[in-house]
Amino acid sequence: MDNIFGISMQSIMLALLIAFGLCLGVGGWIYLRQRIIFRMGIRNARRRPAQTSLIVIGLMLSTLIIAAALTTGDTLNYSVKATVLDVLQHTDELVVPVNGDDAEPNAQQSVTFPQQVAADLQAALADDPVIDGLMPVLAQPVPILNPKTQLSEPMVTAVGIDPAVLDPFGGLRDLEGNDIDLTALPEGAVVLGKTAAERIDAGIGDTLTVYIKNQPHDITVAAIAPDSILTGMQDLGQAGGFVMTLDRAQALLELPDQISFIAVSNAGGVEAGAEATDAAVAAIEAALGDAPYGAVRVKQRALNTAEEGANVFTSIFLVLGLFSIAAGILLIFLIFVLLAAERKPEMGMARAVGMKRRQLTEMFLAEGIAYDLVSALIGSALGVGVAFVIAGVMGRLVGDFFTIVPTAHWRSLVVAYSLGVVVTFVTIAISSWRISRLNIVRAIRDIPEPQRQRAGNRWLIFGILGVVLGALLMWVGADSEKLFPYSIGISVLPLSLAAALRRFGLPARPLYTVASLFVLAYWLLPDSIHQKIFPVLTGGMEMFFVSGIMMVAAATMAIIWNAEIGTTLVGLFGRTFSRWLPAVKTAVAYPLASKGRTGMTIAMFSLIVFSLVMMATIDHNFTRIFSGEEAAAGWDITATRVMNDPMPPFDQALAESGVDTSRVTATGRVRQVASYDSQIRLAGTEEWKRYTINGADASFIEHSHAPLSIRATGYDSDAAVWEALRQNPDLAVIDSVALPGPTVQIGSAANFFLQGVQPGDTTMEPIQVEIGDPVSGQTRTVTIIGVINPTVSVLYGLYVNDEAFDQVFAQPTQTMYYVQTQAGTDNVAFAKEIKAKLIAYGVQAESLEKLIEQGTGVARGFLMLVEGFMALGLVVGIAALGVIAFRSVVERRQQIGMLRAIGYSRAMVGASFLIESTMITVLGVGSGTILGLILSRNLMTSDEFTGSSGAAASFLVPWGTIALFVGIALVAALVMAYIPARKAASVPIADALRYE
C-alpha cells in the first residue's frame, strides 16, 4: 500500500521515524543526564511483574488496532494486485475502437474491427524499445454446455490469438506448467480456462457444445489452463472461457478478418511493464494518428483500482478503530493517574528531599518509555495476527472474485510501531506533567486536594480559548458548509463556557449539566427538528467518530456531576438489605471521590459500546431496508444476456423454448450500457463523466414498482414521473448514488454527481444532462425528473426510454429481462428452467430474491467483520477494569485495613470492590447503548438515508446482538474485579494498617 488518506506511506513512515527518534532521544537524554532518576523510573516497572504485564496489555491496544488496519490494507492490496497480474500476465494495454470527445477508451463486448489495424500497428511499432509485443485478439461471449454433466454457463469468452506473436506474452501453459502449442491442436480442439472448466465440470477430452448465432457447435477440451486474459478471463468474478488459434476462432464465430482488441506487452516483464504504460500509450497514439482507435491502460488502471480499494478499506478500519484508539489513550492516562495516586506519599517525600517537578516528570517518562517500547512491539505483532484472521474471513466473503493472501509489509509495521510509540509517549508525557503538579505536604500525608468553590485562573484561560476556538470552528464550518468543523465547534463551545464560568464561583454541577445536555441535544435531536434549528451542512464518514467522541464526553460529564443522586438510591436500597448497605455506600462513594478516573473509565466503555451498537443497528436495519419488499421493484426474476446475436422477443423466446409461460404475469426489458462504455455530463459542462445508462421499454416502466425519493417540481406522484418517462424520450430518472455525499466510490466506474439537489430533498428542479456513446459519437440531452429511492437496490444508473436509448447507443453492454410471476411460484427453480431452456441465446436467469440475499449477505459479512474488529475495543475496557481493580487494591490497602478494623467483614470488602466495578461498567455500557440507539435511529429514519418514502419508519433494534455485547462487558467486569476483590478481602488487618 503506497498511500493512505491521500498521503504517501513513505512520507508518513519518515515523519514517524523522526518523531520516534525524538521520543528515544528524550529517553536517552534522561538516562545520560539524570541516570538515578531514570533508574528509579525503570525500577518501578520491575517491582510488580503481574501489574506491569497488565499495563503493557492496556498500552499495546492502540498499536494493535493500527497494525491490524494497515496490514489488512496490505493484504487486500497485494491480493488484488496479484490476481490482476495473474489474469493480465504480460498484457499491459489494449488497443480498441474509440470515438467521442474526451472519451476514455475501453474494450466493448461484441465490438470488432479489421485485423489489418493490428498488422499496420505492428509495422509502425516494430522498432519501439518500450513495446516488445503486439497481438491481435478476437474475444466474443458465447453460451457453453457440457452434455455429459448437463451443466451450462450462459456466457464464457471464446478467444482467438495468433500463436506467431505469443512469445512476448509469456506463451500458454496448462495447470502443470507444460507449454501448449495451439497450432498442434486438432480441428475443433480448444484450451479451456480453469474457472470455466469448474463451472461446467469439464475435463480433458470432454466434448462441449457452444452456441454461435443460436446454432450449436461442438468443441473438444484438449487442455485446461490457468485463468488469464488469454483464456477469456477479462474481469474478476467472470467465468473465463476457452482459447484457440485466431483463424479458427474467426471461422467458428463467423467473423472473418475481425478482431476485438490488440493486446500490447511492454518491455520489463509482468509487473514492471506497467511502469512503462505512459510511454507505451504515447507511442501507440502517435502510431495511430487520427485513426479511430485508442489505448486502454488496462493493467495500470486495474492496479490503481486495487490500490484505491485497499486504501478505502484501510481508511474505514482506521476511522472505526479510532474509537478503540481513543479508549486506549484514555486508558494510558488512567494508568498513570492510578500510578500517581498509589505513589503519592512516595512522590511527596521525593519532592521534600529536593526532587524537582521536572525530575518527577522525567521519572514517570522513563517508566512510561519502558512500557511503551515493549507494548508497541507486542501490539504490532498481535495486530498482524488479527489482520491475518480478518484476511481469512474476507477470503470466504470474496473468494469467488479473487484469492486473499495474508500479507504484512515491513513499511506498514514500521509505521504501526512508530505511531504506537509516539501516541503513547505523547499521552504519557502529558499525564506525567499533570502528575508532577502536587502539593508536597498533602502528598506526604496522602490527603486529597481541597475542593474549591472557585476555579483557578487556568480554568478561565482555557475556557476562553475553548470558546474562541469553538466559535471559530462554527464560523468555518458554516462558511464552507462542512459539518465536521461546525459540529466540533458547537460541541466545544458550551463545555468551554461552563469551564470559564467556574472561575466566577458558579457551582459546577448545574454548569456542566446544562452544557452537556445542550451538546447531547445537538447530536440527538430528530432530523426534522435539527434542520429547523441548525444549518444543513455536509459531512462524511469522519462524522461517525466525531459524533461518538462528543456525545460520550457530554454524557459522561452529565453522569459524573449528577452521580450523587445515586447515594439517595443507595439509601432506599439499604432499607431492604441493611446488612450490605455499608459495602454499597463504600462502593458508590469511592468512585465519586475520584471523578476524573471514574469518568475516564465510564467514557472508555461508553465509546466502545456506542460504536458497536451503532454498527450492529445499522447492519440490522440495512438488511431489512435493502432486502425489503421494494428492493426488487416488483419483479421476481432477472434474465441477463450479454451477446448481441439475434433473439426473438423475450415472451416469444420463452414460449418457443417450452417454458411454462402461464406462471408469467409480466415481463420487461432494460438494455444497459456499463459505466466504462458510456458518457454523461451536466448540460453546459465540458468534461465527460462515467455512469451506467439504461434503456427501459414501456412494459418495464409500466410494471415496475419503484418509489422515488425525489421528484421534480410539476409532478405530483411517482406514477406521474414514470408515465412521463415512458412517453417522452427527453426525460430520465437516476439512482441515488448520483446525489452528492459521502458515497465511497473506487476507481472511475461511476464518477458523475448531480448539482442543485442533496440527499434528504423531496423535490428538485429538473436537471439537464447530456449522454453519449464513445464508440458511435452520438449524444443526446435529457432532463432528469426523479431520483430512485435507495431501497430499490436492483435498479442502478440513469434510465431513459427505448426511443432515447436507440438514438444514442449502437448496442448495449448487456440486456436484462425482468419477469413477474404468479404468487406461489418457486422462482429459484423457475429461473433455472429459463436458463436451461434459453441456453442457446446465452441467457443467465436468477431469482431476484436470491440475488438480493446474496448481495446483502456479502455486505452484512463485511459489516460483521468490521464489528468484530471494533469489538477489540472491549479488550481496552476489560484491561481498564483490571488495571483499576488491581491498582485500587494497592492504593487503598490502608483504607481496607481501616474498614476491616471498624467491623467490615471480608465478604463486605470483596462485595464493595465488585459493586464498584459493576457500577462503573453498567454506567458506561448503559450510556453507550442509549446514545448508539438514539443516534442510529435518527440516522436510519432520516431523509438522507431513506428519502421521502419513510421506508425505515419502523426502526428495528438488534436486541440479541446488543445483549451479547452488554453481557460480555458485564461478565468481563465481574471477572476482572473478582480476583482483586478477593485479594483485597484477604489482606490481614495489621499488615494493611502498617502498609507503606
Q: 894-925, pLDDT tens digit by residue?
A: 677 777 777 777 777 777 777 777 788 888 88
Residue 453 CB burial class (10 angstroms; 0-12, 13-18, ≥19): exposed
pLDDT band at 68 (very low <50, low <70, confident <90, very high): confident
Q: Do residues 38 and 103 both lie within one domain?
A: no
546 pLDDT higher than 50 = yes
- Comparing C-alpha atoms, which of 549, 477, 483, 484 is closest to residue 520? 549
Q: In sequence order, what are the residues at sequence separation of 6 or more whose Cβ sits closer than 8 angstroms to the Cβ of residue 434?
A: none
pLDDT band at 316 (very low <50, low <70, confident <90, very high): confident
Per-residue pLDDT averaged across 208-235, rounded? Answer: 88
296, 320, 354: which is the final residue of a domain?
A: 296
Q: Do residues 668 and 789 both lie within one domain?
A: yes
Q: Do residues 393 and 467 both lie within one domain?
A: no
- Comparing C-alpha atoms, which of 715, 768, 776, 771 is closest to residue 948? 715
pLDDT at res. 803: 93
pLDDT band at 459 (very low <50, low <70, confident <90, very high): confident
Which grid coordinates are listed for 714?
A: 410539476
960 pLDDT higher than 80 = yes
Q: Do residues 766 and 717 both lie within one domain?
A: yes
Which of 677-686, 853-862, 869-878 has the highest average model confidence (pLDDT)?
677-686
Domain presence at residue 955: no
Q: In sequence order, what are the residues at sequence separation of 6 or more whose Cβ sits closer than 8 angstroms to the Cβ of residue 786?
A: 708, 710, 711, 712, 715, 718, 721, 722, 725, 733, 734
User: Cα-flanking dihedrals φ and ψ of residue 711, to 5°?
Assistant: -120, 150
Domain presence at residue 99: yes
386, 421, 449: which is the final residue of a domain?
A: 449
| Cα distance between residue 680 and residue 782, in whole Å | 10
pLDDT at res. 100: 52
Per-residue pLDDT reduced to its tens digit, 272-312? 888 889 999 999 989 988 888 888 888 888 888 777 777 77
> Cβ(157)–Cβ(642) under 8 Å?
no
Domain presence at residue 283: yes
As for how many domains the chain has, the answer is 4
> Cβ(485)–Cβ(477) under 8 Å?
yes
Q: Do residues 291 and 437 both lie within one domain?
A: no
The distance from CA 492 to its chain's CA centroid, rounded to whole angstroms, is: 28
Q: Do residues 356 and 503 both lie within one domain?
A: no
Q: Do residues 385 and 277 both lie within one domain?
A: no
Beta-strand relationship, 731-735 and 779-788? parallel
- % the chain with pLDDT above 70: 87
pLDDT at res. 949: 42
- Comparing C-alpha atoms, which of 638, 741, 611, 747 is closest to residue 694? 638
User: Cα-flanking dihedrals φ and ψ of residue 312, to 5°?
Assistant: -65, -45
pLDDT at res. 421: 87
Domain presence at residue 366: yes
DSSP annotation of 717: S
- Comparing C-alpha atoms, which of 594, 81, 102 is closest to residue 302? 81
pLDDT band at 881 (very low <50, low <70, confident <90, very high): low
Which grid coordinates are listed for 764?
A: 428538485
849, 870, 892: which is the final residue of a domain?
A: 849
Q: Do residues 172 and 71 both lie within one domain?
A: no
Per-residue pLDDT reduced to its tens digit, 805-819? 999 998 888 899 999
Domain presence at residue 906: no
Q: Do residues 697 and 739 both lie within one domain?
A: yes
**Which runs of consecutive H residues, i.e. helices, occur in 791-905?**
802-808, 827-837, 848-870, 873-891, 893-901
Per-residue pLDDT averaged across 975-991, rounded? Answer: 70
Per-residue pLDDT averaged across 778-798, rounded? Answer: 90
- Comparing C-alpha atoms, which of 115, 72, 874, 61 is closest to residue 406? 72
**Residue for cell digits 445508462?**
693
| Cα distance between residue 827 and residue 824, in whole Å | 9
Please state the length of the chain: 996
Domain presence at residue 870: no
pLDDT band at 102 (very low <50, low <70, confident <90, very high): very low
Per-residue pLDDT averaged across 452-475, rounded? Answer: 82
| Cα distance between residue 213 and residue 484, in whole Å | 57
Q: Do residues 272 and 309 both lie within one domain?
A: no
Per-residue pLDDT averaged across 532-548, rounded? Answer: 81
Q: Do residues 70 and 147 both lie within one domain?
A: no
727 pLDDT higher than 60 = yes
Per-residue pLDDT averaged across 940-964, rounded? Answer: 66
996 pLDDT higher than 70 = no
Which of 6-15, 904-913, 950-959 has the highest average model confidence (pLDDT)?
6-15
| Cα distance between residue 643 and residue 211, in whole Å | 11
pLDDT at res. 318: 75
| Cα distance between residue 624 and residue 629, in whole Å | 9
CA angle (7, 12, 14) in 5-degree steps: 140
| Cα distance between residue 493 and residue 462, in whole Å | 11
948 pLDDT higher than 50 = no
Per-residue pLDDT averaged across 11-36, rounded? Answer: 88
**Residue for cell digits 430499490?**
792
Q: 650 is in which domain, residue-wise?
A: 637-849
Domain presence at residue 946: no
Per-residue pLDDT reduced to its tens digit, 694-705? 999 999 999 999
Single-letter amino acid, residue 843: V
The answer to whether the Cα torsion of 319, 325, 330, 333 is positive or negative is negative
568 pLDDT higher than 90 = no
Q: Do residues 172 and 254 both lie within one domain?
A: yes
Average pLDDT, the chain: 82
Beta-strand relationship, 693-696 and 798-801? parallel
pLDDT band at 264 (very low <50, low <70, confident <90, very high): very high
Strand boundaries in 99-169, DSSP class E: 113-114, 131-146, 151-161
Domain presence at residue 318: yes
